[in-house]
Amino acid sequence: MANNDLMATDHPGAIRIQRRPDGVALVILDHPSKPVNTISISLLREVEAKVEPLLGDPEVKALVLVSAKKDSFVAGADLDVLDRTDSAAEISSLSTDGNRLLSRLADSPKPVVAAVHGAALGGGLEVALACHYILASDHPATVLGQAEVMLGLLPAGGGTQRLVRRVGLIQGLPLLLTGKRVQARRAYRLGLVDALTTPGGISETGARAALALAAGTLSRRRRRRSWPEKLAALAPVREMIINKARQQVLAQTRGNYPAPLKILECVQTGLKKGLAAGLKLESSYFGELAVGPVSRNLVRLFHAMNAAKKQTLAQPPQEVRRLAVLGGGFMGAGIASVSVGLGPVTVRDLDPAVLARCAREVEGGLSKQRRAGSITKLERDRRWSRLHLTTSAQDLAGAELVIEAVFEDLALKQRVLAECEELISPQAVFASNTSALPIGQIAARAARPERVVGMHYFSPVPKMPLLEIVVPDAAAEWAVATALRFGQRQGKTVILVKDRPGFYTSRILGPYMNEALILLAEGARIETLDRVMRDFGFPVGPMTLLDEVGLDVVAHVSRDLGRAFAARGVEPNPGLIKMVEAGYQGRKNNRGFYKYPAKDGKKQPNTRVYHYFSQEGRHEFTPADIAERLALLMVNEAALCLQEGVIGSPRTGDLGAILGLGFPPFRGGPFRYLDAAQPDKVVARMEQLMIKCGPRFQPAPLLKDHAKSGRGFYA
Ligand code: NAI
């Protein structure tokens, strides 16, 4: 919803001032060329030139900050500023500058009201926090959060200071340390927001509040603090809470992410030594973090995800008004869940009990979104009414896109495709969610193979951000464009990959998993392998992942990959095959590398499985040895994929590995990892490992080229 009363007739900059006859000055944020407002150097200059004078102007009784953008207050800081310099001091001084201006607002005797409709994130929330009163629209688009930590940064506009002062330590720390966003109503309960209103006329409501504040007939809301919150204000308790938080951060990040620790230090300093000392430290750490490798990689990831959202192909997509999903099982239900927001969805399964489960799944997802405040009750009901469940193939007619998620069986997938082709229009696209079957083979008997593509979702679908679109050689560009557009509308980050064995993500995961099993055969312990790779930065270790994915599934995929890459000596791991033959399927049948159920929440390794791999006793490996062997095989396979055109760019490869496999985001993905480790050094190390461990460590020719030329993958 745009603020029509704030529309500009000309574009004098990103800030317009509207002086009202009642003495309120509206400070209207409206970037002239961007769809959202961001905080930039030029904006700070405009604040100096246009807003600072108002504070001393006797005609002005109060100020209201409001945005003229549709559903957006201020989206955060303009990250391009950070890309332009490698000087920590320069970046710190930007924060110091910004903080000086925000402190001017905060210290002003005239009331300053933030009238927030839409996203107030990062620097946007800090601007609001510097105001005396925050009014927010009770609308799903209004979300508030200090998202900086997700970019490896800290809130450098007073966020580490003013947020905890506003909502208390206990409620403030999680917001600062996780970057979590909260809806307006939750923000009100937290005490972050002083009052809620409707989005229409928010500037008018803001002006009335500002005048009342000036007249002394309104004051900031004082939320009643709970006992724990009151205790947390005592210095010894405060120190205890911060120390505990520090321990939790270290346990979760394993020391790989510096930003949350710096945030804690700023909070601690500010509460101990005062606001000015806290702000000073904040600015200094901001520069340090911004030029560090972790933040650089996280910011690049953010840019890559944004670019993927806007990716288009030369041919336009077909409009998809109705989606059909074949198979309402685990994946089908997930796909339906993320699609009912876009239009009608027909789910077909042969089993009515599966359809009932699918309905519960979709309903559960919608209720969760409703509870979180991200959709209204009306929207929930509308989405729910769009789900059509059926056992009849006839009901597929009229769908412009069909996504199949039936059992992983080539003949079955070919059969459902043939059945569909009789019913759907020639312009409709057929996509398979197969994990590993070649799309070209599924389309082998199709009447129109050019409209068959792969849409490889990751489980659980509503949670996992990646969608791998698999493009067979015969695919028409309009069909790929249709799948791409639909995936983007579902909110997924989409990568396009060629239809080759294992596509991209499974292909690079294969050698990594296999190496873990080889190390097991050499005498490594299950829990050591997991611990080392978690320390490296993966969210779960390889042995846990094997159990979660299912040993039978992994064995199946590794047989396929073994056949495809036999010439390279790739073969399924014999120990794994023996385990599967003995009935081990992992977590789903409670028989895997760990014992299930876990005791007191802690999984115990199942040492009985060692004999499937070797009769040798267990012994210690250095963490570096394990991490290096596993990581090098994964990144080398990524380089092979790039060389073979499976992925089109290092950026695609990095996005896919991070979002699909949990490759440590702070390392930036396989190609950033290779660049940081330097291709010539990687090649030298792999050649040593080739002698020690075997030909699987043969470096990819493309990697060798980079080693020779001295160029990184990112020029
Ligand atoms: P599932 O077993 O939960 O669901 C398959 C469903 O297909 C069943 O409900 C079955 O009744 C239905 N079905 C069988 N024949 C049918 C037909 N002719 N018409 C309509 N429905 C039919 O399996 P899941 O896990 O959902 O997997 C589905 C596909 O997704 C497989 O190809 C799998 O490889 C792939 N996949 C699975 C992932 C996972 O983590 N489970 C991840 C990515 C892809």
If you measure from the C-alpha of residue 493 to the centroid of ligand 1, how many angstroms do you get, rounded to a whole number?
A: 22
CA of 334 to the centre of ligand 1 (A): 11
Q: How far is the CA of 411 from the centre of ligand 1 (A)?
A: 14
**Is the separation of the CB atoms in 655 and 492 below 8 Å?**
no
Domain final position from 595, 610, 626: 626
Residue 461 sits in a domain whose CATH number is 3.40.50.720
* Beta carbons within 8 Å of 557's beta carbon, 6+ residues apart: 435, 436, 502, 506, 510
- Starting at the edge strand that comes first in sequence, how are the strands of the sheet with 119-121 ordered? 72-74, 119-121, 143-145, 182-183
Give the tens place of pLDDT for each residue, 402-419. Answer: 999 999 999 999 999 999
Does residue 331's CB lie within 6 angstroms of at least one atom of ligand 1? yes
Residue 2: the pLDDT is 47
The Cα–Cα gap between 650 and 669 comes to 9
Give the distance from CA 47 to its chain's centroid: 32
710 pLDDT tier (thresholds 50, 70, 90): very high
Classify residue 618: in a domain, yes or no.
Answer: yes
Backbone angles phi, psi at 308, to 5 degrees: -65, -35
**Residues 92 and 189 reside in one and the same domain:** yes
CB contact at 8 A, 121 and 74: yes
Shared domain for 53 and 70, answered yes or no, is: yes
**Which range has the worst mean pLDDT, 71-85, 98-112, 264-278, 699-713?**
71-85
Q: Is 254 exposed, middle or buried (0-12, 13-18, 19+ CB in 10 A)?
A: middle
Q: What are the residue ranges of helices labelled H in 424-503?
A: 439-442, 477-489
Q: Could you tell me the distance, in angstroms and rounded to a whole number, from the CA of residue 481 to the centre of ligand 1?
A: 24
* 612 and 465 co-located in one domain: no
The DSSP output letter for 625 is: H
How do residues 446-468 score in pLDDT, each as one tens digit?
999 999 999 999 999 999 999 99
Angle, vertex CA 591, rays to CA 585 and CA 593, nearest 5: 95
Residues in the chain: 715
**For atom 9 of ligand 1, which residue has the closest CA?**
329
Q: Is residue 676 part of a domain?
A: no
Measured by CA distance, the residue closest to atom 29 of ligand 1 is 405
C-alpha of residue 328 to centroid of ligand 1, in Å: 7
Residue 501 pLDDT > 70: yes
Give yes or no for residue 329 CB within 6 A of ligand 1: yes
Find out whether 72 and 36 touch, Cβ atoms under 8 Å: yes
Say what the pTM is.
Answer: 0.94
Please tell me the distance from the alpha carbon of residue 468 to that of residue 659, in angstroms, as a whole number.
10
Residue with tokens 């009414």: 385
For ligand 1, whether the C-beta of 459 sits within 6 Å is yes
Planar angle of CA 204, 209, 213, nearest 5 degrees: 150
| Mean pLDDT in residue range 595-616 | 91
Under the banding of pLDDT at 50, 70 and 90, the label for residue 10 is: very low
Q: Are residues 487 and 599 in the same domain?
A: no
Q: Is 318 inside any structural domain?
A: no
Are residues 91 and 81 both part of a single domain? yes
- How far separated are the first and last CA of the chain, in Å rounded? 42
Residue 387 beta carbon below 6 angstroms from any ligand 1 atom = no
Residue 433 in contact with ligand 1 by CB distance below 6 A: yes
CATH of the domain at 622: 1.10.1040.50
What confidence tens digit (pLDDT) does each residue in 567-587 have? 888 889 999 999 999 999 999
Q: 334-361, pLDDT tens digit by residue? A: 999 999 999 999 999 999 999 999 999 9
Which of 391, 402, 406, 416 most suits a substitution to test ligand 1, by most atoms within 8 Å of the C-beta?
A: 406
> Distance (Å, rounded) from C-alpha 335 to C-alpha 345?
10
CA of 335 from ligand 1 middle (Å) equals 11
* Whether residues 399 and 347 fall in one domain: yes
Same domain, 285 and 381: no
Whose CA is closest to 43, among 91, 119, 109, 98? Answer: 98
pLDDT (average), residues 490-494? 98
Q: Is the CB of 46 under 6 A from ligand 1?
A: no
Which segments within 306-405 are labelled E, that is strand? 323-326, 345-348, 387-390, 401-404
CB neighbours of residue 534 within 10 Å: 17
Closest CA to 130 of 23, 71, 55: 55
Cβ–ligand 1 distance for 351 under 6 Å, the answer yes
Q: Which two tokens stand for residue 485?
A: 């557009």
What's the DSSP call for residue 618?
P
For atom 20 of ligand 1, the residue with the nearest CA is: 349
Ligand 1 contacts CB of residue 405 (under 6 A)? yes
Phi, psi of 427, deg, nearest 5: -90, -5
Residue closest via CA to ligand 1's atom 36 equals 435
**Stretch 196-212: mean pLDDT, rounded?**
96
Work out the pLDDT band at 691, boundaries 50, 70, 90: very high
Ligand 1 contacts CB of residue 389 (under 6 A) = no
- CA of residue 78 to ligand 1 center, whole Å: 43
Angle of helix 275-290 relative to helix 259-273, nearest 10 degrees, comes to 160
Which pLDDT belongs to residue 12? Answer: 66
Residue 367 has pLDDT above 60, yes or no: yes
Q: Is 326 in the pocket of ligand 1 (CB under 6 A)?
A: yes
CA 415–ligand 1 middle distance (angstroms):
14
DSSP track, 389-426: EES-GGGGTT-SEEEE---S-HHHHHHHHHHHHHHS-T
Task: Tell which one of 337, 389, 394, 407 to mutate to probe ligand 1, the residue whose CB is within 8 A of the most ligand atoms.
Answer: 407
- 691 CB burial (10 A radius; 0-12, 13-18, 19+): exposed
Domain that holds residue 589: 501-626
CA distance 294 to 549: 29
Closest C-alpha among 263, 266, 270 to residue 248? 263
Asked if residue 334 has its Cβ within 6 Å of ligand 1, the reply is: no
Residue 259 and residue 138 share a domain: yes
Confidence (pLDDT) at 274 = 97
- Of 597, 626, 655, which residue constitutes the final position of a domain? 626
Q: What confidence tens digit (pLDDT) does each residue in 120-134 have? A: 999 999 999 999 999
- Mean pLDDT score across all residues of the chain: 95
Q: Is 330 in the pocket of ligand 1 (CB under 6 A)?
A: yes
Give domain status of residue 228, yes or no: yes
List phi, psi (to 5°) of 462: -65, -25
Question: Hey, which residues are catalytic here?
Answer: 468
Residue ending a domain, choose from 626, 648, 680:
626
Ligand 1 and 358: CB distance under 6 A: no
Residues 656, 659, 663, 667: what is their CA dihedral angle, to the nearest 10 degrees? 90
Give the pairing of strands 62-67 and 112-116: parallel
Instruction: Let me know: does 40 contact 70? Beta carbons within 8 Å.
Output: no
Ligand 1 binding pocket mutation candidate from 348, 435, 469 (most atoms within 8 A of CB):
435
3-state secondary structure 656-715: HHHHHHCCCHHHCCHHHHHHHHCHHHHHHHHHHHHHHHCHHHCCCHHHHHHHHHCCCCCC
Name the residue at shortest CA distance from atom 28 of ligand 1.
405
Closest of 465, 397, 396, 398 to residue 406, by C-alpha: 396
Angle, to 10 degrees, between the axis of helix 551-564 and the axis of helix 574-581?
140
Assess if residue 648 is contained within a domain: no
Q: Looking at the domain assignment, is residue 686 inside a domain?
A: no
Q: Between the CA of residue 426 and those of 403, 446, 451, 483, 650, what are the distances in Å?
A: 16, 12, 9, 15, 35
What is the 550 CA–ligand 1 centroid distance (Å)?
Answer: 15
- 710 CB neighbour count, 10 Å cutoff: 9
Residue of 325, 330, 404 best suited for mutating to test ligand 1, as the one with most atoms within 8 Å of CB: 330
Determine if the peptide bond prior to 460 is cis (ω within 30°).
yes
Same domain flag for 525 and 457: no
Identify which of 4, 138, 160, 136 has the alpha carbon closest to the alpha carbon of residue 65: 136
Give the pair of three-digit tokens for residue 332: 């089908």
350 lines ligand 1 (CB under 6 A): yes
Split into its structural domains, the chain has a count of 3
What's the pLDDT at 633?
Answer: 97
For residue 9, pLDDT over 50 is answered with no
Report how far ligand 1's centroid is from the alpha carbon of 509 (Å): 22
Local confidence band at 6 (pLDDT 50, 70, 90 cut-offs): low
| pLDDT in the model for residue 374 | 87
Shared domain for 469 and 545, answered yes or no, is: no
Residue 472 in domain: yes
Query: Could you tell me if 271 and 337 lie in one domain?
Result: no
The pLDDT tens digits for 503-535 are 999 999 999 999 999 999 999 999 999 999 999
In a domain, 705, yes or no: no
Task: Give yes or no: residues 580 and 491 share one domain.
Answer: no
Q: Say if residues 424 and 352 touch (Cβ distance below 8 Å).
A: no
Q: What residue owns the CA closest to ligand 1's atom 30? A: 405
Pocket test for ligand 1, best of 326, 331, 470 (most atoms within 8 A of CB): 331
* 148 touches ligand 1 (CB under 6 Å): no
